[in-house]
Structure 1
């Protein structure tokens, strides 16, 4: 909102008349992420802020919000409900629990544009939103599989680390990884396809918690000294660089020799540092800043009734030791 402070009413009227601008509250374009505790989403926030800085005269403002914790699925659903009830102009949601979010959206039947960002609703519920902006998550999983096969052409044993059980984006990446390894769609679990076998006890689910992610890695490494590959479908463990360093310190000799390989999602600063220290072999990076930067414009297009493509993909960056690319020091 543009406030006129410490001016008399007459002076304020004169200022308004002089500029031809009416003092009024801006309409809100809301971006609701899974949790404010996840550094990945802070990049979306920075994109939102960048949009605001570049559009100071817009009638809209970009509001970035979410529950305090990424584990608070019910809190996210309630927050979306509250924002729609309050009367935001449009909303972009990264659903933590896709079925639960879809159930609530069906119940309240919002009359404003709804889109998803970063994570989508399940395929059966996509009529509830007008478009998805973010990563092609299935392709991201495929690219992880490409790196695993390149580094271990004969296959081996593998553990996948996932996030939230009901997160559509994470599940799509896991599907892309398994399908690409197996050479067939609909692969639920790798049992020798392409030479790869998922070990007992995996996949493991972090519930988007970095401390739990690192503990899981340590436990898997201890229980499976001959493990060939650990795939971080998301970057959770690397979001806690000290803990991740301690875990990977225990297997650095195996990482150096490629006896054990680590392929991880995302390329946030602490992850790039870990990569450059030899604590992973490949990083498949999303573009969360671009998601936050583009989402307001997409919401305005939807408000104006303009045609918008569905989906809207933001691309991927691949970093390997041979071609560090985006992750080069």
Structure 2
């Protein structure tokens, strides 16, 4: 009898604990004030390279029944500015944040501190200060695979033979996980081809953006690893400042499409930014609706676009999301 009574009491305690936990989750989930506002923090938020990503976020927000707000950011996206922006969003009642992290010391520590208060989903880049301990979920394209694919497209145009060719590589930041993996993938893709990387430049901004290429030596091919770099290279090539060098790159803006359309770019890789936006918002919404849900990292696809197929039926959806 005593054992039976103990078992009965134990079951009652467990059930009571479950009721408390479930009540807590239900109250938080049903509250009109809680879990309804998601803030999005991305670099230069008004830049049209984010059009497809924003469109994806808005569509997912509509499907999930949550509100979404895009924080206004402009200029250099420093660690200090990111910290201040996140704190402002928290003070303004954000229940969760989707953020593009900057590559700077202390960012992982900062985000971990913030994540104790609200859910955080990363987009475009992960933080890599300590790969073994990094617990953030991130939605992004396979950057290494895009670098490999860019090398493959280049080799196709030269029938696999680029021996003796000199290449220049441009990326906005050499410190970001995305930039490093894209460059690593590209360099792995041209190993043992006999081609040589003449120069690799990054971290350009402000006045330097207009002049940083002028001091580089002449190359045969220019590889741009992100949208900012690609549009800068496109503008430079349009003025014939590359002296006939061919430009290949990764981008996701209407400017990038424009330079492809007028023949300045040979090949454009476009990451599926719509899916980055849609899936990141969907994941963080699931977390808000269920306290115990563990957000998943998502890898999205990319498309390879050539000028002759730019306006094909297959590419219409890509162009549509980029123009929203």
Q: Verify the 8 A CA contact 1:34 1:73 in the aligned structure 2.
A: no
Partner residue, 2:254: 269
1:194: which partner in 2? Answer: 193
Which stretch has the larger CA shift, 25-34 or 141-150? 25-34
Change (3 A) 1:320 1:213: farther
Question: Segments of 4+ in structure 1 off by > 6 A?
Answer: none
The residue aligned with 1:203 is 200
Is 1:120 paired with 2:126?
yes
Instruction: Give the total of aligned pairs.
Output: 281
The CA deviation string for residues 148-175 of structure 1, in whole angstroms up to 9 with x for no partner, is 2223422411111011232221121111
Deviations 1:98-141 (A, max 9, x none): 54321322455524322211111116257454421121111111
Displacement after TM superposition at 1:74 (Å):
2.0
Question: Alpha-carbon deviation of 1:219?
Answer: 4.3
> What is residue 314 of structure 1 aligned with on the other side?
300
1:150-203 Cα distance to aligned partner (Å, 9 max, x none): 234224111110112322211211111112222xxxxxxxxxx4212111xx31
One of 208, 211, 226 as aligned partner of 1:234 = 226
Structure 2 unmatched ranges of 5 or more: 1-29, 320-324
Task: Give the TM-score, by structure 1 length.
Answer: 0.73
Match of 1:138 among 144, 165, 182: 144
In structure 2, distance between residues paired with 1:283 and 1:212: 24
Partner Cα separation in structure 2 for residue 319 and residue 214 of structure 1: 27
Q: Is the 8 A contact 1:35 1:72 kept in 2?
A: no
Structure 1 pair 208–293 and aligned structure 2 pair: CA distance change class (3 A): farther
Which residues in structure 2 correspond to 1:1-329 (within 5 Å)? 27-55=36-64, 58=65, 60-65=66-71, 67-84=73-90, 88-108=94-114, 110-122=116-128, 124-125=130-131, 127-152=133-158, 153-155=161-163, 156-182=165-191, 193-199=192-198, 202-207=199-204, 212-213=208-209, 215-220=211-216, 223-224=217-218, 227-239=219-231, 244-245=234-235, 247-250=237-240, 254=244, 260-303=245-288, 304=290, 305-310=292-297, 312-321=298-307, 323-324=309-310
With structure 2 as the length reference, what TM-score do the two structures score? Answer: 0.74
Conserved 8 A contact 1:28-1:61: yes
Gap change, CA 1:229 and 1:86, over 3 Å in 2: same
5+ long unaligned stretches in structure 1: 1-20, 183-192, 255-259
Query: In structure 2, do the counterparts of structure 1 residues 131 and 298 end up closer, same or farther at CA, with 3 Å as the change threshold?
Result: same
Conservation of the 8 A alpha-carbon contact between 1:71 and 1:207:
no
Contact 1:173 1:233 in 2 (8 A): yes
Cα deviation 1:300-329 (Å, max 9, x = unaligned): 22332335443x112101012465466689
